[in-house]
A and B are shown apart, each in its own frame.
Chain A
Amino acid sequence: MTVNELVRECSFDVICLADGDREVKGCYIGDLLSWVMGRAREDNAWITIMSNINVVAVASLSDVSCVILAEGVTLDDEVKAVAESKGINVLCSQSPIFETALAVSGKV
């Protein structure tokens, strides 16, 4: 399923959608950035509650297809601008991490 389709199916909010046609394959959940870099796979959706600028770098370096911020977490305008310039897809889920993961489950 593509990021666009995931947004629609799970009713996520869009924070920035740089490449909505990108395919999502699998999912990784975590807030500790070195764990994410060690364990997340290319094209995963990454669910986290972290929202600082380093999240953008980690998303870019680990080639995840999108970042899903759980618990209604959003990005500062400055961080959002960097995410846009780096071509990172960032979505927002109003639900806690577990419910967010359940929503994604079976779709990617």
Chain B
Amino acid sequence: MSDELVFHFDIDGEDFTSAGQASVQIKKNLRQLGLPSEIIRRVSIAMYEGEINMVVHARGGKADVIVREDCIEIRLADSGPGIKNIEQAMQEGFSTASDEVRSLGFGAGMGLPNMKRYTDEMHIDSTVGVGTTVTMKVYFPVE
């Protein structure tokens, strides 16, 4: 518990044309900490996918990135519509994105699969009508 470093972000759900700023900021913060570039890349891409999901599917939310001794934990929480079928949502290619979102290059149904692929642990907690919480962990390599 001693050496935790927490970065908190409120993710605005209004403007999804410029979403993703928290993830770009986190990348900068992690670089300043001098962490391995591969770890930074995995964390910031996974967070970006989750951040975009909160903006386009859930009208925004909150993000916390916790840097610990052994890992980086990303916690994303929103009060959006929730995910009815998580197993289906996790499948490559499944998407409910609107045409407007698709016109920006999103909606391939690859976001959640990417988050799983780039992190060591991922857990989704979702209740329809209440919201969604996604927790991901990336562990530092052990020498």
A and B are partners in one complex rather than unrelated chains: yes
Most buried by B among A32, A34, A58, A62: A34
**CB-CB under 8 A for A54 and B104, given A37-B49, A38-B110:** yes
Min CB distance A63 to B, Å, is: 6
Given A38-B110, A62-B45, residue A57 in contact with residue B104 (CB < 8 A): no
B106 → chain A, closest Cβ, in Å? 6
Q: Is the interface of A mostly helix, strand, loop or mixed?
A: helix
List residues of A (53-68) whose CB comes within 8 Å of B's CBs.
53-55, 57-58, 60-63
Does B105 sit within 8 A of A, measured CB to CB?
Answer: yes
Chain A residue numbers with a CB within 8 Å of B117 are: 38
Q: Which of A34, A35, A61, A63 contacts B24 (CB 8 A)?
A: A61
User: Which of these, A31, A37, A52, A54, contacts B45 with CB under 8 Å?
Assistant: A37
CB-defined contacts of B48 to chain A, threshold 8 Å: 37, 57-58, 61
Is B111 in contact with chain A by the CB < 8 A criterion?
yes
Inside 8 A of A58's CB, which chain B residues have their CB? 48
Interface residue A86 (Cβ < 8 Å from any Cβ of B): yes
- A34 touching B110 in the complex, CB below 8 Å, given contacts A42-B41, A52-B104: yes
Q: Which residues of B contact A42 (CB under 8 A)?
A: 37, 41
Interface SS, B side: helix
From B114, which residue of chain A is reached at the shortest CB distance? Answer: A38
Q: Does B108 lie at the interface of the complex (its beta carbon under 8 Å from any beta carbon of A)?
A: yes
Q: Which residues of chain B are within 8 angstroms of A54 by Cβ–Cβ distance? A: 17, 19-20, 104-106
Q: Flag if B105 contacts A63 (CB, 8 Å).
A: no
> Taking A38-B113, A61-B24 as contacts, is the C-beta distance between A33 and B41 under 8 angstroms?
no
Q: Report how many residues on chain A are interfacial, defined by Cβ distance under 8 Å.
A: 20
- Asked whether, in the complex, the Cβ of B27 is within 8 Å of the Cβ of A60, the reply is yes
Nearest neighbor of B43 in chain A, beta-carbon distance: A61
Whole-angstrom distance between the Cβ of B95 and the nearest chain A Cβ: 9
Per-residue CB contact flags for chain B residues 87-112 toward chain A (1 = under 8 Å, else 0) read 00000000000000000111111110
Contact A33 B44 (CB under 8 A): no
Q: Other than the known A32-B107, A57-B24, what 19 A-B pairs have Cβ atoms closer than 8 Å? A: A32-B105, A33-B108, A34-B49, A34-B109, A34-B114, A37-B48, A37-B49, A37-B114, A38-B110, A42-B41, A52-B104, A54-B106, A55-B105, A57-B23, A58-B48, A60-B27, A61-B44, A61-B45, A62-B45
User: 5 closest Cβ contacts across the A-B interface?
Assistant: A34-B110, A32-B108, A57-B20, A33-B105, A38-B114
